[in-house]
Chains A and B, each alone.
Chain A
Amino acid sequence: MSNNKKITTEEVKEEILAKYPPKVARKRDKSFVINEPGSGQEIQANIRTVPGIITQRGCTYAGCKGVVLGPTRDIVNITHGPIGCGFYSWLTRRNQTLPEKESDENYMAYCFSTDMQDENIVFGGEKKLREAIQEAYDLFHPKAIAIFSTCPVGLIGDDVHAVSREMKEKFGDCNVFGFSCEGYRGVSQSAGHHIANNQIFKHVVGTDDTIKTTKKFRINLLGEYNIGGDAFELERIFERLGVELVATYSGNSTIDSFANSHTADLNLVMCHRSINYMAEMMQTKYGIPWMKVNFIGAKATAKSLRKMALYFEDPALSAEVEKLITEELPLVEKEVAEIKKRTAGKTAMLFVGGSRAHHYQELFKELDMRIIAAGYEFAHRDDYEGRDVLPNVKVDADSRNIEELKVEKDSSRYKERASEKKLEELKKSNPEFQNYIGMMPEMESGTLVIDDISHYESEILIKKYQPDIFCAGIKEKYAIQKSGVPLKQLHSYDYGGPYAGFKGAVNFYKEIDRMVNTKIWSLIAPPWKKDPEIDAQYISA
């Protein structure tokens, strides 16, 4: 709750910007919006962070290797570069995986690196890379090896794609492909997501046409990375509904599931930012429609399942969905009714991700909490304002730098899943069919929306508003908590979770209840500071 109610949002914004040199202030001003839904506001996003401003953002490599490819267990991921990047992305994202059999390939616990040294920088690292791929192949005989380029690789001119092709041909039974995801290449990890999408689409998707199950409804779940076991909860739900999850991109996934994923009938998109490219490309090439869903929040989950059932137009499936909702939702609502008594009216800020800052608002709403500020770390304008703005988004040098694949209909694999007419009808009944409406339309008027919030800005927000909870990641956690505000990590979930689906929602309610109602903060001031009498006694003694 705001300590100082007299200060207006405009004043806070002004005060924050006043600290910056004028040019920086002008730039930050455009990423700093006081929300007015329906007024056609523009927010600046996916623009380079100003040098020297401490950002939440990571690099292109992090988005490519860490986020999108990291959760797939049976690809040997080799970081081509000096040791740091590989080490820092080694099991640090908490995406869980569960091989079906103990003997199944699982390289998640490994961090492979070419550990480049001086001489590799001077004389080139291709030889070392070639030998590293060979060594990894000899050791594990994996189905696939992926190569991730770090900053110096692009500069010294190593051709990771040529080396990959050469080794793939040499092995014959191992798919080797590379990623030009040097850290400096894009604005944030977002560029890495795009590069990852492109290369998986090029090298993996569509390489296995077998339909492996007889289930009637076959879908892919895109942009679900199984942090804290979220994908497990969703797998449970789809299993109950009799819906086949062909592939999840990329939580708890295998490369074979990607290879086969073009045979699905519908793509459900969770994290729009990181994976919309894949949804679009699969639609163009194979004819799979997509829809935006959100399984964060119990009501949102129910809504998303209904949207899916609507697409399939199958009474039996709709009945299953309704049955599941009637069974599971009341249990969740019973829990939240009790917890809400302690959370209602409290305030939250969310600065995270390219989707989470939006998705998690659902859970807070279910707790009757108010969102007073939110923003993304690496999103684009469409994630804020909705995809309708896409034609108006300026293509700058940084965006041009990332390859846009030219995708065409696959003559043999393209299959029309739904008629044009049906697609049009679905669009009318579901605003998020092949669309994402973005975060800002769903936020209250007068709330703050800030893109790429800096360390300094978030500390000022804390000082000014003292929200009851702040959601971000580990880099912000301890700085925010120093000032007496609990921080919930929405990257690693603070080792909690799952938070998706029905069971996940209950976990989240309990977690937020614990955090906003803890007694710890009341202990900060010692009694001799709180009680002047004790203070006086001490002095006189």
Chain B
Amino acid sequence: MKDVTKNACHLCAPLGASLVYKGIKNCVTILHGSQGCATYIRRYMIGHYREPVDIASSSFTEHTAVFGGQENLLKSIENVIQTYDPDIIGIATTCLSETIGDDISMIIKEYQKRNMERTRPVILYTSTPSYRGTHVTGFFKTIHDVVTQTSKQAVTNAGQINIFNGLFSPAEIRVIRTIVSDFSLFPVIFPDYSDTLDGGSWNQYHPVPPGGTSLKKLSSCGNSAASIDFSFCQKDELSAGMFLKEKFDIPCFKNAYPIGIELCDNFFKTLSTLSQKPVPEIYTQQRERLIDAYVDSHKYLYGQKAVVFGEENLVYSICTFLAETGINVVCAATGGPAGSISGLKLNDYFNQTSILEDCDYEDIEEWVIHNETDILIGSSRGNKIAKLSGKPLIRCGFPIHDRIGASRQEFLGYNGTHNLFDQITNTIIERMQNSMPANYATM
């Protein structure tokens, strides 16, 4: 690891935790640490989703930092209950509370001891020091920790399956729900921030925005017939599906984000197997259309050089998809840890792909300056590289704060892939068009 990180390609773990808690129904998050953590993370998530994000803080003082955060956390739980009356409080730690070694499970026990008569809210917690991992590991760890704390097993419900999401957009969560339901399966989708982070205008005041996975649904995870878990590039210890497999013997399918024919096929095949139903006609048609588009556009895309950057799971899936189209991924970069994408044999698809792991945007910029590139695919933070190199940037992933529509970005499934595909193709065509001395109107 280098000494100075210049323009990091990852964020901190408590942000991932906050995102997961936004996917629980009537849940308020408390970050245990300095109030700046809550403010910064709210500010950053709101910039991307353009929706209210309410995160409370235990607001450490110097005194708290020295003598421990128990009383502050207990006070914040009490105040959140009084003002928001949530069903669930989700607590995540920060570097501050972790450095002084606060034991959250002990503090929660103390809370329960002091409030024996209370039946709600349920208090969940996760440990997310920002000096360990990234926002991506924080995200998956929180899903894992919530499921370990809430899931119970009673009777297996043959039609119910768990979907443990990756870092999807609200629109993509809706797509996943539709797809799974079209197989006549009943999904427990977690986290589900499809409404909380992409809601409409309100007719009435809501202390906590409506939407999210309910506690009842969460506790029924143990009754599901199977889990599909999108923590594909993560270690099994961060997988909620793998936890349920070990604890309740529920089969777990670790799928990559379904982008492109191959990865969508995997997902749909899994659903078909689980439901014992053929893939609905509507999706085979979508698939055919996508392939048809691949064929039509191959002349523009073949040999185009793409640099893809962002969180490891998204990078892996986009690279796999681009390989199908004829685009050559010349550089795949992630701020995720070493081994997160290099183990996935991207070079089976491409002759020579530079893989940068645990990298920052300066490493990517350096790479782009010294190598030939046609197109950049990644978050808004690639803007500086795009400006400097004059290459177009297709925005995807997190954060997207310089364009609207991050919540509605939909790149999953055959149709979602088609959206991404059209965007990429049109961007490349536009470049060709603009670089031709004799301009032309039709393709």
**B40/A88 in contact, CB under 8 A:** yes
**A82/B84 in contact, CB under 8 A:** no
**B47/A483 in contact, CB under 8 A:** no
- B interface, over-half SS: mixed
**A48/B84 in contact, CB under 8 A:** no
Q: Please give me the residue from chain A that is nearest to B134 by CB atom.
A: A83
Chain A neighbourhood of B50, CB < 8 A: 478
Chain B neighbourhood of A525, CB < 8 A: 203
Q: Given contacts A184-B62, A474-B43, is CB(A85)–CB(B36) below 8 Å?
A: yes
Shortest CB-to-CB span from A304 to chain B, Å, is 31
Chain B neighbourhood of A184, CB < 8 A: 33-34, 60-62, 64-65, 96
Q: Given contacts A51-B73, A151-B94, A478-B50, is CB(A117)–CB(B5) below 8 Å?
A: no
Interface residues of A in 71-117 (CB under 8 A from B): 78, 81-90, 92, 109-117
**B11/A83 in contact, CB under 8 A:** yes
Q: Please give me the residue from chain A that is nearest to B131 by CB atom.
A: A82
Q: Given contacts A151-B96, A152-B99, is CB(A475)–CB(B42) below 8 Å?
A: yes
Chain A neighbourhood of B58, CB < 8 A: 51-52
Is B277 part of the binding interface, using a Cβ–Cβ cutoff of 8 Å? no
Interface residues of A in 413-455 (CB under 8 A from B): 454-455
Q: Please give me the residue from chain B that is nearest to A495 by CB atom.
A: B402
Is A20 part of the binding interface, using a Cβ–Cβ cutoff of 8 Å? yes
Select B62's contact among A128, A401, A481, beta carbons within 8 Å: A401
Cα distance, A236 to B210, chains bound together (Å): 49
Chain A neighbourhood of B77, CB < 8 A: 52
Is A171 part of the binding interface, using a Cβ–Cβ cutoff of 8 Å? no
Q: Given contacts A51-B75, A55-B39, A482-B199, is CB(A455)–CB(B95) below 8 Å?
A: no
Shortest CB-to-CB span from B367 to chain A, Å, is 16
Cα distance, A152 to B46, chains bound together (Å): 26
Select B131's contact among A54, A109, A152, beta carbons within 8 Å: A152
Interface residues of B in 1-35 (CB under 8 A from A): 1-8, 10-12, 14-15, 30, 33-35
Cα distance, A428 to B16, chains bound together (Å): 57
Select B59's contact among A48, A456, A479, beta carbons within 8 Å: A48
Cα distance, A524 to B34, chains bound together (Å): 39
Is B207 part of the binding interface, using a Cβ–Cβ cutoff of 8 Å? yes
Q: Given contacts A53-B56, A115-B8, A455-B54, is CB(A88)–CB(B75) below 8 Å?
A: no
Q: Given contacts A85-B40, A114-B4, A463-B205, is CB(A456)–CB(B96) below 8 Å?
A: no
Is A397 part of the binding interface, using a Cβ–Cβ cutoff of 8 Å? yes
Cα distance, A112 to B361, chains bound together (Å): 11
Chain B neighbourhood of A78, CB < 8 A: 4
Interface residues of A in 37-63 (CB under 8 A from B): 48-62
Interface residues of B in 54-72 (CB under 8 A from A): 54-65, 72
**B78/A59 in contact, CB under 8 A:** no
Is A156 part of the binding interface, using a Cβ–Cβ cutoff of 8 Å? yes
Q: Given contacts A20-B79, A21-B78, is CB(A51)–CB(B59) below 8 Å?
A: yes
Q: Given contacts A121-B95, A482-B199, is CB(A113)–CB(B64) below 8 Å?
A: no
**A183/B36 in contact, CB under 8 A:** yes
Q: Given contacts A52-B56, A84-B14, A152-B95, is CB(A118)–CB(B6) below 8 Å?
A: no
Is B52 part of the binding interface, using a Cβ–Cβ cutoff of 8 Å? yes
Interface residues of B in 194-245 (CB under 8 A from A): 199, 201-203, 205-207, 209
**A52/B30 in contact, CB under 8 A:** yes
Cα distance, A303 to B57, chains bound together (Å): 42
**B52/A19 in contact, CB under 8 A:** no
Residue picked from B60, B80, B209, most chain A C-beta under 10 Å: B60
Shortest CB-to-CB span from A6 to chain B, Å, is 19
Q: Please give me the residue from chain A that is nearest to B201 by CB atom.
A: A524
Cα distance, A136 to B1, chains bound together (Å): 15
Cα distance, A474 to B62, chains bound together (Å): 28
Is A2 part of the binding interface, using a Cβ–Cβ cutoff of 8 Å? no
Is A345 part of the binding interface, using a Cβ–Cβ cutoff of 8 Å? no
**B130/A82 in contact, CB under 8 A:** yes
What 18 additional pairs, Cβ within 8 angstroms, besides A51-B72, A53-B79, A85-B40? A48-B59, A51-B56, A56-B39, A57-B35, A59-B34, A89-B40, A111-B7, A115-B8, A135-B4, A184-B34, A184-B61, A397-B63, A456-B207, A459-B207, A463-B205, A475-B39, A475-B46, A524-B201
List 7 A-B pairs, Cβ < 8 Å.
A52-B77, A54-B55, A62-B40, A83-B134, A86-B8, A184-B62, A482-B206
Chain B contacts to A: CB under 8 angstroms: 1-8, 10-12, 14-15, 30, 33-44, 46-47, 50-65, 72-73, 75-80, 82-84, 94-96, 99-100, 129-132, 134, 199, 201-203, 205-207, 209, 384
Closest 9 interchain pairs by CB? A59-B36, A52-B76, A84-B12, A52-B79, A183-B34, A479-B52, A88-B40, A51-B76, A131-B3
